[in-house]
Each structure stands twice: as C-alpha cells, then as structure tokens.
Structure 1
Amino acid sequence: MTEEVTLKKEIGFSAALSTVVGTVIGAGVFFKASAVYATTGNAGLGLLAWLLGGIITICAGLTGAELAAAIPKTGGMIAYIEHTYGTLASHLLGWAQTIIYYPANIAALAIIFGTQFTNLFGLSPKAILIVGAIAAISLTFLNCLGSKMGGLVQTISTICKLIPLALIIIFGLMQKNPEHLSLFPMTPKDPSTNALTALGSGLLATMFAYDGWINVGNIAGEMKNPKRDLPKAISIGLICIMVVYVLINIAFLMTLSIGSIAGNSNAASDVAMKLFGPLGGKLVTIGILISVYGTINGYTMTGMRIPYVMAKENRLPFSNLWSKLSKKSQVPVNSALLILGIAIIYMLSGQFDMLTDMLVFVIWIFYTMTFLAVFILRKREPSLERPYKVPLYPIVPAIALLGGLFIVINTLFAQTGLAILGIVVTLVGLVFYKKDKAKVPVTES
C-alpha cells in the first residue's frame, strides 16, 4: 500500500460539506430505529443512543481526518493501519473488509430493499431474498460497465434520499394528533436488562446509520485549505446529520407507538403511510427504496476495489484471479463477483440486524486502532507533515477512542456469540498472510 496519489487541490468548504452529508446519510437512518427501540425498549434511551452516536462520530471524523491528511495514500484506512502497526494489521483489515464489511453491508441493505419492495407491492415474504438478490446483482452489473455508470446511480440516489427525510421530519413534527412521547425515566422495558447494556446495544445499532465517516477524511488532500475547511466541514456536516437523525426519530415516535416501531422492519414505510395516506406513503416509500438502492451501489462501487487492491499484493487466495481488470471497462469484474457471491451467501441468513451488528463490531475494532494511531504517531513521528491536525487534541481523539472501546467491549459482553464469530472470521485471514509479499501483475480479462 505504498502507491502515492496525485491530487488536485480544488475542493472548497461547500463541496466538502456536501461530501460529508452525502457520504454518511444512507439507509440506516430509515431502518435502524427498529433495532434501537427493540434493544432499549425506551424512547429516551433510544434518542440518547442516536445523540451519543452522533457525538462519537463527530470526534471520530475529526480524528480520522488527521491521518487522511498526513498519509494520503491509496487504501485509505488500510494505509493508516499499515503505517502505524505494520502489514499484518493492515492485512487483517483488508481481509475483514473483503469477507465481512462490504459483503455484509450489501447483504443487509439488499434484505431491507427486498423487505420494503415486497411490502410496498404486496408480494409474498418469500420474494424478499429474490428481490434483494436482483438488486445486488443489477448494481454489480452496472458497476462492471464502468465507474461513470456507478457514479450516475449514486448522484440520483443522493438527491432521492434527502426528499423522504425532509418530508417525514416536517410532516411528522407538525401533525395534529401525535403519539404521546415520554422520554423519562430512561429505564429499559425489560427490568432484568442493565440500562448501560441496553444503551450500548442501541448505540451499536445507530453506528450502522452513522457509518461512512472514515471516508470523509479522504478528501483532505484535494482541499484548497484543509486546515481551515476540513474540521468545519466535518463538524458542521456531522452535527447536521446528528440533528436530522434525532429529528426523524422524534417524528417516528410521534407517528407510531414505540411498540409499533421496535422490531418492525417496515417502520419507515408504516410512518410514511400514516402521514401521507396510501398514495403519498407509497411515493415516499419509493423514494426510500431509491435511497437504499443507491446505498447498496455505494458499497458495491467501493467494495469491489478492496479485493483487487489486496490481490495486487498477493494477500488473497487466487490473487491472480481477483487482480484482473476488464478490457472494456477497466474495472475489477472478478473482484466485484467475489464480493457479490459472499453477499448472497450472507443474504440467505435473512438477518439484517445480525449482519449489521457484526460488521459494525468488526470495523470498530479497526476504527479504534485508527484513533489510537493518532496518539502513537504524534509521539513516534512528531515531524510527520500534518496539513490538518485534530482540534482540541487530546480531548477529541480521546472521546473517539473511548467511544470505540465502549462499542467493542459492550458488544463482547452483550452479544458474545456475534462478537466471537466476527473475530474468528477476521482471524482466518492469518492463514493467507505472507510477510514478504510478491506483487501480482495486473492483467486484463
């Protein structure tokens, strides 16, 4: 992961701010309310989880941006981890992204797409897997045609996902006969559940909706004035996202009872139907479907390049196969098919929340290592050029680090089986680790 990127410094504050919002807002905001209130069983604890998730994400984004500006290499977080901890750690991250993070994201989102589609058109629940698979396959096909096609889908879906958000917030908060919203006392519905454990599980669920912040720092090398504009774009952008997430959850809770939201994978659709009636609700739900489709596209477009990068350095079995590029489109088609194949295997589980919790747990292990890397490099390499430094050091990175540790440790205790599964799958990557890697030449197929 030593290839340097040549970047033009053309991005100003406005473009950086829109990048932050467009990168982070995805499908999770519409569908994670179900898991948050199922685990907390309480409106106050649930909203607190969304608020804390936003604060941790703001600190995480500001912290990660320092490494992005100081180590502007291909591979993103893989490059930061390798620079700080060596090739073994970066190999495990690349393996986890290939085997868990990207396929599980695609699978979970495809399940949600299938669920909403079948609910909207009154199809049998048996069609969920088929519809989800068709969505994932179609997007893999579009991205194999070239990066321009994938970018077009992303642009259209970004616009579409903001419309249902705005409509639900405005009409949900202004409705005449809202549900009674009680924030206190903040105690779990199940008296045998510890409030901190319930909050931790709710926080883990919100992190899927906030995920994507690690990519925000990647624009640092393309900004005109990263030292001034990057922290502003990240802090303002993520604060806006946090406010939007809290407001749409309040709108949800004012429209449906907490019992109707908890564990209901169609909660967003039900809210839209109640607020706008059958026709309006269907139109809003179609907007949500386009948003989910675009989010799947984003993970497909970026995920298909991870096995390719790994294979170029002989870090995967059958690296010669995954490192091939298509002659026509110059994209890693075989790598895309690998991610798709693993995603379809995950989809057979039908478990949206299980998949998202596992991928969030695994990736947050590496996020936490990234936060710690800021402290390590400040001490080990004080002369490293840092075009941007995290503000209020060491407070901001410490909040990010403590938040990451809380998520990881709480998951280990609250969802031990899921955590062990994620760790085991990640450690399987050790089997394919080669300290002295021989680069695999890129070929066309």
Structure 2
Amino acid sequence: MGNNEQKLNRGFGLTASLALVVGTIIGSGIFFKQGSVLESAGSTNAAMLAWIAGGLLTLASGISVAEIGSQMDKTGGIYIYIEKIYGKIWGFLAGWMQVIFYGPAMMGSIAAYFGILFVDLFGLSKSLEIPSAILALSFVGIINSIPNRFSAGFQIITTTVKMLPIVALIIFGIFFGQHNALGQTVAHISQSGQGGFGVAVLATLFAYDGWVTLANISGEIKNPQKVLPRAIIFGILIVIVAYVGVSFGVYQSLPANNIVKLGQNTTLYMATNAFGVIGGRLLSVAVLISLLGTLNGKIVSFPRVLFAMANDGLFPFAKQFSKINMRSRTPNKSIWFMILLGILMIVFTNPDRLSDIAIFTTFLFYILVFVGVFKLRRRDPLGEQRNFSMPLYPWLPILAILGSVYVEISEIMHDLSGVLISIAIVALGYPVYLVLSRRINNK
C-alpha cells in the first residue's frame, strides 16, 4: 500500500509551507489572550517576558522536530517519527490520538468559534452558530478536496490577510500609544487570574501551538528535507515577532488595568479606538479570515496522518482511507472522514473542551519526539542521514523537553480528570492496533 505515497502532489513550496506554519499557529489567540496573560503575569514586563519565553520554548521544540523531519520525508509527522524511533505500537498510538481525538476536536473548536464570531458580527440568530460552523468546516474541506495548490494558495492569502491587522496594531501602538508599555503593574488581580508567571507562560504556549502540523504533510512538500526545517524555524520566528509586537502595541495603547478589565475585547477596543468603528469591524472580519486559515492548516495536516496510517494498513477500512483522488491527488476520503468527526463533535460535544483534554497526550508524544533527537544522534553520530543539524545541541531539545514537562505537570495539577480521559482514549487504540496488526501478519 506504500505506493500511494508517491501519488501525492508536492504542491507546497517554501512560501506555502511558511504560510502553513504561521497561519496554523496564529488563530485567534493573539487577538484575545492579551488580558488573561497580563492578568496572570501581574505586570506588563512579566507578560512580555511570558510571550518571549513561550516563543523560545516553541522555537526549541520546532528546531528539534526540524532536525528529525530533515531525516524523514514521508507523510505522517510524529506518527512516522515515533514509529521509526520507538516502534509501530507507539507510532500507532500517536497517530490514533491525532486522528480520533485531537485533530477533529481542533477542527471542531476552531469552526465552532468561527460560528460564534460570525453570528455575532452580522447580528444573526444564535441558532445559526452551529450551521455557520459546519458550513465553514465544509467550505475549507472543499478547498482541500481539489489540487493542493489551491489549499496552499488559500493558506498564503489567509495568512497575508491575518498579518495586516497585526502589523497595524503594532505600528499604532509603537507610534501613537499614550502609555509606557513596560513598567505597568496590574492593581487588582482577580481569583481567576492568580497563578503568576508560570501560568502566563502556559497560556502563551497554547497560543503558540500548531507549528508541528507542517511535519504531517512531508510527502506534499517540495524538497522537504530542506524546506521543512526552514519553514518551521522562520515561521515560528515570525510568530514570536508578531505576538511580542502586538503585546507591546496593546500595552503601549491602553493602561494595564483596562486591558485586564476588557479581557477578550482588548484588541477590538484598541482597533476601534485607533481606526474607528470601521476599523473594529475590519479587525473582526480579519479574525474570521484568520480562523479560516487556521482551519485550513488543520484540514491540510491531520487527514494526512490518517492517510499515512491507512497506507501502512494500520487503520480500520485502510483500503478506503489510503486512496487518493486521481484528479486532485489528495486523500479526500481521509479528509472528509475527519471533517465528519469534527462536525459530530460540534453538534454533540464541546470540541473546545475536548481539544483542551487532548493537550496532555499531545505534549506527551512531543516529549517522545524530543527525546528521539538524542536516540537518532546516537544511531547516526556522523550525521550522514541529517540534512539539517540544529545549533546549540543538546540544549535546545533539553529546553523543549523541560517546557513540555512543565505543560504536563500543569495539566495534571489543574485538570486531572481531563488527563485521565485523554489517557483512556489513547489506550483504547491499543486493542485496535492488536486487531489490525494481526490482520496484516495473517496476509
């Protein structure tokens, strides 16, 4: 079944790959997280440091994955990496988690949020939130069901559009802000905001998440051994500049206590103040386009994990999900199966809560990947298989591991029930693997 991999179209060059990294990370977090990060940090100095610290931890993680990705050009991302490093069972469980649980929940939560904002912006009935979410998810699914140059182009367009308000907010804050961005403290931190610098960093790490999605489509990247490391590293650097820049602009434009009071409405209030009612509306439209771009990144990425697993025979109905549409050269059955799961989550569950629950196992598999850097270095001490060798080895993967362990400890302390649910869902994949592997061995 491995021949199907060769039928994929390598339609993602450096620009589209860069847009995928930037566009998938930057969703709505930068527009809505300013208040909560500042409230947790307690001062603008600490909040700025939190955004920088979260960015550096993410960069260390991205560079670690870039080194591994430069050695493997097969579609599937961490499913492939973990399988090659630790064996099939661990690779399967990593893929299972993304296909059954995390991927659909992320698609569903982004689409659901789009539906809420869309209805609110145009003053429509609340009853249209779910239909709007399903339409958004289906629309992006259609774009991904035609040749991937269209999804690549859509990613470039939406990423460009979402960068415009970010640049505008940064410029306005730096040149027209009336306050000192640094040195402000929050007078009264509410109970929900307590937790200090560590909680603020945790909030930024969630805003930075999404960079790993590019690794899932290696089979559709032109010259992936060189393009993937560049796109991940430069993409994360662009996001760090954007996040830190917007934070500085917001803190320069509004008093710290006002930012905390405004909460999720901070950037909308700032945009309306800076550019009038029309400016506020344009920012809302840009956020909607930003969400579509993030959704596109997820739909480009997660179904490729399903396709890769099916291509190896390691998923129920593998023959169907490993098929590629010969016109578009995209794995349409895998795409629409995961969209259907996302729609079911929108209708019957709270996908936002499910994606939060999945954070623990997601970062658990990240840790395995980061440890894998050391294992691959031992297997190939001369670097004959590496097209990219990270600087500052071994400190960067150590930093990535420490950051991920911090996320895991925080999840256990704050959401133990969610942690246990996520472990249980991943564990359900084990009997599925046993059945599938027995079937493969009997052939």
- Tell me if both proteins adopt one fold, taking TM over 0.5 as the criterion: yes
Aligned to 1:306: 305
Aligned to 2:203: 205
The reply to whether residue 73 of structure 1 matches residue 74 of structure 2 is yes
Return the letter of the residue paired with 2:172: F
Aligned to 1:398: 398
Q: Distance between the aligned counterparts of 2:424 and 2:414, measured in 1?
A: 17
Q: Distance between the aligned counterparts of 2:230 and 2:273, measured in 1?
A: 38
1:304·1:339 contact (CA, 8 Å) conserved in 2?
Answer: yes
Q: Is 381-390 or 33-42 further displaced after alignment?
A: 33-42
Aligned to 1:239: 237
Q: Distance between the aligned counterparts of 1:245 and 1:168, measured in 2?
A: 11
* TM-score normalised over the length of structure 1: 0.83
1:42·1:188 contact (CA, 8 Å) conserved in 2?
Answer: no
Deviation string for 1:263-300 (max 9, x for gaps)?
A: x3x54434322322111221232122112112111211
Deviation string for 1:226-256 (max 9, x for gaps)?
A: 5xx9877755553342122022123334347
Aligned to 1:373: 372
Q: Distance between the aligned counterparts of 1:404 and 1:386, measured in 2?
A: 24
Return the letter of the residue paired with 2:440: A
Aligned to 2:94: 93
Q: Distance between the aligned counterparts of 2:322 and 2:192, measured in 1?
A: 53
Aligned to 1:31: 32
Deviation string for 1:61-116 (max 9, x for gaps)?
A: 11111111123333222221111110111101111110222212211211221222
- Matches for 1:164-203 after TM superposition, within 5 Å: 164-178=165-179, 183-184=184-185, 189-190=190-191, 193-195=194-196, 199-200=198-199, 202-203=200-201
Q: Distance between the aligned counterparts of 1:136 and 1:209, measured in 2?
A: 21
> Secondary structure, in 3 states, of the residue corresponding to 1:100?
helix
Aligned to 1:438: 440
Residue 183 of structure 1, CA deviation: 4.5
Which structure's residues are more often helix, by fraction? 2
Aligned to 1:156: 157
- Matches for 1:39-438 after TM superposition, within 5 Å: 43-178=44-179, 183-184=184-185, 189-190=190-191, 193-195=194-196, 199-200=198-199, 202-215=200-213, 226=226, 237-253=235-251, 254-255=253-254, 257-262=258-263, 264=264, 266-326=265-325, 328-348=327-347, 354-382=353-381, 385-434=385-434, 435-436=437-438, 438=440
1:8·1:222 contact (CA, 8 Å) conserved in 2?
Answer: no
Q: Distance between the aligned counterparts of 1:396 and 1:148, measured in 2?
A: 34
For residues 193 and 270 of structure 1, do their structure 2 counterparts lie closer, same or farther at Cα, with a shift above 3 Å needed? closer
Residue 340 of structure 1, CA deviation: 1.4
For residues 130 and 34 of structure 1, do their structure 2 counterparts lie closer, same or farther at Cα, with a shift above 3 Å needed? farther
Residue 119 of structure 1, CA deviation: 2.2
Q: Distance between the aligned counterparts of 1:111 and 1:100, measured in 2?
A: 16
Deviation string for 1:338-361 (max 9, x for gaps)?
A: 211221233247857534433433
Residue 215 of structure 1, CA deviation: 4.8
Q: Distance between the aligned counterparts of 2:178 and 2:44, measured in 1?
A: 18
Return the letter of the residue paired with 1:407: V
1:325·1:333 contact (CA, 8 Å) conserved in 2?
Answer: yes
2:22·2:236 contact (CA, 8 Å) conserved in 1?
Answer: yes
* TM-score normalised over the length of structure 2: 0.83
1:269·1:281 contact (CA, 8 Å) conserved in 2?
Answer: yes
Q: Distance between the aligned counterparts of 1:388 and 1:420, measured in 2?
A: 37
Q: Is 2-11 or 363-372 further displaced after alignment?
A: 2-11
Q: Distance between the aligned counterparts of 1:129 and 1:81, measured in 2?
A: 36
Return the letter of the residue paired with 1:420: L
Deviation string for 1:168-206 (max 9, x for gaps)?
A: 22123333545987544899643995436xx24x33332
**Which structure 1 residue ranges, 5 or more long, are not aligned?**
none
Return the letter of the residue paired with 1:211: D
Q: Distance between the aligned counterparts of 2:43 and 2:395, measured in 1?
A: 30
Q: Distance between the aligned counterparts of 1:140 and 1:20, measured in 2?
A: 19
For residues 437 and 274 of structure 1, do their structure 2 counterparts lie closer, same or farther at Cα, with a shift above 3 Å needed? farther
1:21·1:241 contact (CA, 8 Å) conserved in 2?
Answer: yes
2:25·2:209 contact (CA, 8 Å) conserved in 1?
Answer: yes
- Matches for 1:13-32 after TM superposition, within 5 Å: 21=22, 24-32=25-33
Q: Distance between the aligned counterparts of 1:15 and 1:307, measured in 2?
A: 22
For residues 139 and 19 of structure 1, do their structure 2 counterparts lie closer, same or farther at Cα, with a shift above 3 Å needed? closer
Q: Distance between the aligned counterparts of 2:318 and 2:276, measured in 1?
A: 53
**Which structure 2 residue ranges, 5 or more long, are not aligned?**
none
Q: Distance between the aligned counterparts of 1:332 and 1:117, measured in 2?
A: 29
Q: Distance between the aligned counterparts of 2:80 and 2:70, measured in 1?
A: 12
Q: Distance between the aligned counterparts of 2:49 and 2:306, measured in 1?
A: 37
1:315·1:437 contact (CA, 8 Å) conserved in 2?
Answer: no
Return the letter of the residue paired with 1:386: R
1:204·1:357 contact (CA, 8 Å) conserved in 2?
Answer: no
Deviation string for 1:104-154 (max 9, x for gaps)?
A: 221121122122212221223343222112101221123223423323322
Deviation string for 1:368-393 (max 9, x for gaps)?
A: 11110011222244355222212111
1:41·1:189 contact (CA, 8 Å) conserved in 2?
Answer: no
For residues 46 and 404 of structure 1, do their structure 2 counterparts lie closer, same or farther at Cα, with a shift above 3 Å needed? same
Q: Is 350-359 or 70-79 further displaced after alignment?
A: 350-359
> Secondary structure, in 3 states, of the residue corresponding to 2:440?
coil
> Secondary structure, in 3 states, of the residue corresponding to 1:70?
coil
RMSD value over aligned CA atoms?
Answer: 3.9
